[in-house]
Chains A and B, each alone.
Chain A
């Protein structure tokens, strides 16, 4: 019979035990089929208390019935007891039944019933054959009989089955019926038993605080329940049982810690003697387990259930908390553990779980797997390292004999645990690892790498870095500084990135030690710098690294560049020059305020700040980045946090077509959400042009330092402040390029040349002195520089006294020093009557000639006038002084060409006449012409000599005597008509009276030479221009007279009336040339279109009024004699 003796088999093989009685050979024929068929289909398990319906697969193992093997009251090991009993019979004959079978069943039944068992079944196996099948069925069958005898109310406890060996359809149905019935009834049996057991467990648990209660007893009781559930395939419910046990135990320990320790717990307080590795799956609990053994057993059970329901990763996830709880409980229960024992145990447990996980590992679950195993790898490596340290296996150590003993002891405590087929078990591994330093190193590093790798895989970079720190220290011990540095560097960067400055600083210390060991002085110095400036580090440590840095610096042969970063903080940079403008050859001055984080003073051998010439990029980014101020402060240097950005918000109004406002909005103008790119690493920078500190060495004290940087501006242009470099011996601290650009502009002042006209107006015809002033600019001009002056025509210049004046000059510059001013007196002379001139200045520093406009005035002005007496003609010349300067005039003369003689009327030049502004001098000549002959137009030229009158002081004045000339033309000057008028009382009257008509007699006499003249107009118009308040002209006031035929004088009489009395001036008569309207055929075509007659005036002197200035005496009312003056 299969499995009948396998009571001690592995729990996975456990199946409900069913006893068989009756005709066992009948059953034997069916056993195999039944064993196979039972678990094939699930059976529904409906339970009370609202618990969910579960589908359960029922297996079975059969044992022969024996009364002694039947369960007794208060025996709870359900899985080792038969809970179901079957009686088999083949009997179909009622008589046979009555004689033998019935008795047999009765005795079987008695055994069962007396034990209060109700789970049984009687099976009647029928062996039909073809013949018998056709037979009529007996009236009553054996089955009916059995039912009637044994189960009158429980018909389902008796069943008949057709032997399935016959392969008939009917037999298959009956077979299914049997299997179903067995399943169902077995389940019922177990359900009953479980309920009973559960009640019992609950009952026992309630007694847990009673004296004498023992956890281990309770444990085995509840585990029984778990095992039943497991047997039924309800692994999750079995797990719950174990979890309850777990929690209960934990609670006892906690309570024991806080309050009174339960008595039974004291049995766990024995010193730890064994630390066998955790073994998942099989395994039995020792009789008197230690805490670790109990815990390990419990966990292995939980793990087993989890594995059965395929929750491998949960199993792995539970492992670490389980291990932690064990450690906690060892502590709480104050259990004495040999050194290293727990480490061994923990290591073994981790490895066992990890190995198990590895077996269940599936490619698609790596993520979930890693999430739970990473920490286990880490824990295992940590524990191994603890052991290594304890046993003197760490690199650089050699185990003492005590430590060797310790290893032996620990190995013994682990026991022996062979691995599965060929695989080395965790125990084997640990023993090997502890056997030699090499093996230990290899194992430790392997584990740590696995832990890091797994952490990285699940994105727990920080955890990986922390292990990295451990590994680094291990490598340090191994002397593999390069590897150590790599791990430390990674950790450092992670800490920096997360902003954990203190951790970063401590890592720097480790890095420093690593580089020291490696003998990498340069990196060591860098690390020392970093440590010495870390505020998070203790001052003593900072000082010591600072001192080491200084010491090491002396040994350097090449300079070492270290970025500013946390070492030096730039607080403020400002250009001190006005508006950031510097004149060439002057000093650019920049003030730099930095905060030194060094713990002590540093002596700077040099401090530079680069000047970058303006490039295209600068110009492009000018608007955005260039600060118009001359200062940048910390705030500007920090890259602004994007999230906290200030936005430019403004109002925006929208209008409708009718200009009415339609909506008002708040909008954003500069929504630039792109991160400004930061320049992290210092770019290579050009230190050819840079500002420097003049006073060296300069000392940087901890904290704020103001540094003045200067440089002589040599090249003009715009420069931007770039980087700052602070050199401390061979250590060169270099800043980033400022992200806000400050600029300095170097300019130069060009030399300038000016020609000053002075205050007074310039005069032509006189040599005068102007000031030519030359100012050298911000730079010296070459020694042999000359400036060139060119004057316009009619003007001459000279800068050397006594030298003749020239039209162009070259003047060498004598003093070429910056800002020197040279004044050169420039003599200028403009020819008379030329008023507008220019002097062109040509300087070598300017490509463009500079014209200077000069305007000259005359020192004298001259006017002339014609005077006439009858036919005689006089020229009157008036010379008017125009200047404050006095001039002496002499030798005046009038030249008239055309052989007309001029005779001066005044005795000229007897004395020198002095003229100046406000003084007029007149000269008169008579020109001698013949009145009867027509005189030609004359060209006259007036000359007068002048020389400046020297005052006592002004010696520079030009006193040469020069001749002033004045040309003019005399035309139409000959007298053509002589007009004579008088006023007489009308006939019969003696006097002219007010209000009485008088006669105005007008006589016009043409000159005799008129006859020869063809050109003379011979029609004249006269007009009486009487003063309206004095005279009233009655009748005609004007008329035309003609002298076409003869030259006889013509007399016209007009009527006028005096309006006032006294001596009245005669009414004036004007003569004009009269040009008739119809002068067609005239030789002047432009007049042909004239439709009106015109008047043309005569030139002065052509008409001589003989009566001009005469008066007539007019009396009032009474008659008086006319008195004509």
Chain B
């Protein structure tokens, strides 16, 4: 039940934010998703405190990424990330073959251009969570074939 509620709430948040954007800015080509991402960021920053409460301390960055792929993803999306790849230099690619917010849409190209709206929040969640774990990073996402989605995490070393 809370799943459904989460999905509904998320889609309403998307609608709300996108509508707000449209009032401000008619130019839709590079739709601004900053607000959605930041909402996700705040949520991620807070939720991670709870999700890692009973966890052992992370060994390293990769350990955190594995956590994001498994326990974290399960907690939020009731499934795990399907594939995690890394270049061992701070770039991680997380692939979800059936990303929750995209599974309810048509699989064709019809809604592909709207997909970014539905993944931006999650980019933020990942970034927020990792930020609170002390990893400063940039999270972007790419959708080619719905409902699969690739999240790119780029760790910023300063």
Is there any pair of Cβ atoms, one from A and one from B, under 8 angstroms apart in the complex?
yes
Interface residues of A (CB under 8 A from B): 642-644, 646-653, 660-668, 671, 673-675
Given A643-B136, A649-B34, A649-B37: A666 and B119 within 8 A (CB)? Answer: yes
- Please state if A650 and B156 are interface contacts (CB–CB under 8 Å): no
| Other A-B pairs beyond A648-B32, A649-B123, A661-B113, 9, CB < 8 Å | A643-B136, A646-B41, A649-B140, A650-B33, A663-B112, A663-B143, A663-B144, A668-B140, A671-B156
Q: How far is the CA of A674 from the CA of B158 in the complex (A)?
A: 8
User: What B residues does A663 contact at CB under 8 A?
Assistant: 112, 142-144
B141 at the A/B interface (Cβ < 8 Å)?
yes
CB distance from A662 to the nearest CB of B (A): 7
User: What A residues does B116 contact at CB under 8 A?
Assistant: 651-652, 664-666
User: What A residues does B125 contact at CB under 8 A?
Assistant: none
Partner of B143, one of A643, A665, A668: A665
Q: How far is the CA of A755 from the CA of B120 in the complex (A)?
A: 63
User: What B residues does A661 contact at CB under 8 A?
Assistant: 109, 112-113
- Please state if A651 and B140 are interface contacts (CB–CB under 8 Å): no
B30 at the A/B interface (Cβ < 8 Å)?
yes
Chain B residues 7 to 45 lying within 8 A of chain A, measured CB to CB, are: 29-34, 36-38, 41, 45
- Please state if A648 and B34 are interface contacts (CB–CB under 8 Å): yes
Chain B residues 138 to 152 lying within 8 A of chain A, measured CB to CB, are: 138, 140-144
User: What B residues does A646 contact at CB under 8 A?
Assistant: 34, 38, 41
Q: Which 4 A-B pairs have the closest CB atoms?
A: A651-B116, A651-B31, A649-B37, A663-B144
User: What A residues does B140 contact at CB under 8 A?
Assistant: 649, 665-668
Partner of A673, one of B117, B141, B143, B158: B158
Partner of A664, one of B34, B115, B131: B115
CB distance from B95 to the nearest CB of A (A): 13
User: What B residues does A668 contact at CB under 8 A?
Assistant: 138, 140
Q: How far is the CA of A443 from the CA of B134 in the complex (A)?
A: 45
User: What A residues does B144 contact at CB under 8 A?
Assistant: 662-663
Residue in chain A with minimal CB distance to B109: A661
- Please state if A650 and B32 are interface contacts (CB–CB under 8 Å): yes
Interface residues of B (CB under 8 A from A): 29-34, 36-38, 41, 45, 109, 112-117, 119-120, 123-124, 127, 131, 136, 138, 140-144, 156, 158
- Please state if B138 and A647 are interface contacts (CB–CB under 8 Å): yes
Q: How far is the CA of A663 from the CA of B109 in the complex (A)?
A: 9
Partner of B34, one of A650, A662, A665, A675: A650
User: What A residues does B115 contact at CB under 8 A?
Assistant: 664
User: What A residues does B34 contact at CB under 8 A?
Assistant: 646-650
Given A642-B136, A643-B131, A652-B116: A666 and B32 within 8 A (CB)? Answer: no
User: What B residues does A662 contact at CB under 8 A?
Assistant: 144
Partner of A647, one of B37, B112, B114, B158: B37
Residue in chain A with minimal CB distance to B123: A666
User: What A residues does B113 contact at CB under 8 A?
Assistant: 651, 653, 661, 664
User: What B residues does A642 contact at CB under 8 A?
Assistant: 136, 158
Residue in chain B with minimal CB distance to A641: B131
- Please state if B37 and A666 are interface contacts (CB–CB under 8 Å): yes
17 contacts between A and B (CB under 8 A): A643-B136, A646-B41, A647-B127, A649-B33, A650-B33, A650-B34, A651-B30, A651-B31, A651-B117, A652-B116, A653-B113, A661-B113, A664-B142, A665-B116, A665-B143, A668-B138, A673-B158
User: What B residues does A644 contact at CB under 8 A?
Assistant: 45, 131
CB distance from A672 to the nearest CB of B (A): 10
- Please state if A650 and B143 are interface contacts (CB–CB under 8 Å): no
User: What A residues does B141 contact at CB under 8 A?
Assistant: 665-666
- Please state if B33 and A651 are interface contacts (CB–CB under 8 Å): yes
Q: How far is the CA of A653 from the CA of B115 in the complex (A)?
A: 10
Q: How far is the CA of A852 from the CA of B105 in the complex (A)?
A: 69
CB distance from B137 to the nearest CB of A (A): 9
User: What B residues does A652 contact at CB under 8 A?
Assistant: 30, 116
CB distance from A626 to the nearest CB of B (A): 21
Partner of A649, one of B114, B120, B143, B158: B120
Residue in chain B with minimal CB distance to A644: B131
- Please state if B109 and A660 are interface contacts (CB–CB under 8 Å): yes
CB distance from B135 to the nearest CB of A (A): 9
Among A642, A661, A663, the one with the most B-chain Cβ atoms within 10 Å of its Cβ is A663
Q: How far is the CA of A652 from the CA of B36 in the complex (A)?
A: 15
Q: How far is the CA of A321 from the CA of B131 in the complex (A)?
A: 39
User: What B residues does A651 contact at CB under 8 A?
Assistant: 30-31, 33, 113, 116-117
Residue in chain A with minimal CB distance to B128: A644
User: What A residues does B109 contact at CB under 8 A?
Assistant: 660-661
Residue in chain B with minimal CB distance to A646: B38
CB distance from A668 to the nearest CB of B (A): 6
Q: How far is the CA of A664 from the CA of B108 in the complex (A)?
A: 13
User: What B residues does A660 contact at CB under 8 A?
Assistant: 109
User: What A residues does B120 contact at CB under 8 A?
Assistant: 649, 666
User: What A residues does B119 contact at CB under 8 A?
Assistant: 666
Q: How far is the CA of A651 from the CA of B142 in the complex (A)?
A: 10
CB distance from B63 to the nearest CB of A (A): 20
Q: How far is the CA of A664 from the CA of B36 in the complex (A)?
A: 16
- Please state if B158 and A675 are interface contacts (CB–CB under 8 Å): yes
Q: How far is the CA of A666 from the CA of B30 in the complex (A)?
A: 10
Q: How far is the CA of A913 from the CA of B136 in the complex (A)?
A: 99
CB distance from A1019 to the nearest CB of B (A): 78
CB distance from A269 to the nearest CB of B (A): 45
- Please state if A650 and B158 are interface contacts (CB–CB under 8 Å): no
Q: How far is the CA of A992 from the CA of B2 in the complex (A)?
A: 114
CB distance from B37 to the nearest CB of A (A): 4
User: What B residues does A647 contact at CB under 8 A?
Assistant: 34, 37-38, 127, 138
- Please state if A673 and B136 are interface contacts (CB–CB under 8 Å): yes
CB distance from B10 to the nearest CB of A (A): 15
Among A646, A666, A667, A675, the one with the most B-chain Cβ atoms within 10 Å of its Cβ is A666
CB distance from A510 to the nearest CB of B (A): 34
CB distance from B120 to the nearest CB of A (A): 5
Q: How far is the CA of A643 from the CA of B158 in the complex (A)?
A: 11
Q: How far is the CA of A661 from the CA of B114 in the complex (A)?
A: 11
User: What B residues does A665 contact at CB under 8 A?
Assistant: 116, 140-143
CB distance from A663 to the nearest CB of B (A): 4
User: What A residues does B45 contact at CB under 8 A?
Assistant: 644
CB distance from A831 to the nearest CB of B (A): 60
Among A644, A665, A673, the one with the most B-chain Cβ atoms within 10 Å of its Cβ is A665
CB distance from B139 to the nearest CB of A (A): 8
- Please state if A666 and B131 are interface contacts (CB–CB under 8 Å): no
User: What A residues does B124 contact at CB under 8 A?
Assistant: 649
User: What A residues does B37 contact at CB under 8 A?
Assistant: 647, 649, 666
User: What A residues does B114 contact at CB under 8 A?
Assistant: 664
User: What A residues does B30 contact at CB under 8 A?
Assistant: 650-652
Q: How far is the CA of A673 from the CA of B135 in the complex (A)?
A: 12
User: What A residues does B32 contact at CB under 8 A?
Assistant: 648-650
CB distance from B4 to the nearest CB of A (A): 24
User: What A residues does B123 contact at CB under 8 A?
Assistant: 649, 666
User: What B residues does A650 contact at CB under 8 A?
Assistant: 30-34
Residue in chain B with minimal CB distance to A663: B144
User: What B residues does A674 contact at CB under 8 A?
Assistant: 158
Q: How far is the CA of A966 from the CA of B140 in the complex (A)?
A: 86
CB distance from B20 to the nearest CB of A (A): 15
CB distance from A665 to the nearest CB of B (A): 4
Residue in chain A with minimal CB distance to B137: A673
Q: How far is the CA of A647 from the CA of B41 in the complex (A)?
A: 10
Q: How far is the CA of A581 from the CA of B155 in the complex (A)?
A: 45
Q: How far is the CA of A664 from the CA of B127 in the complex (A)?
A: 19
User: What A residues does B38 contact at CB under 8 A?
Assistant: 646-647
CB distance from B143 to the nearest CB of A (A): 5
CB distance from A685 to the nearest CB of B (A): 31
CB distance from A947 to the nearest CB of B (A): 67
User: What B residues does A649 contact at CB under 8 A?
Assistant: 32-34, 36-37, 120, 123-124, 140
Residue in chain A with minimal CB distance to B28: A651
Q: How far is the CA of A783 from the CA of B31 in the complex (A)?
A: 61
Q: How far is the CA of A660 from the CA of B32 in the complex (A)?
A: 22
User: What A residues does B156 contact at CB under 8 A?
Assistant: 671, 673
User: What B residues does A653 contact at CB under 8 A?
Assistant: 29, 113
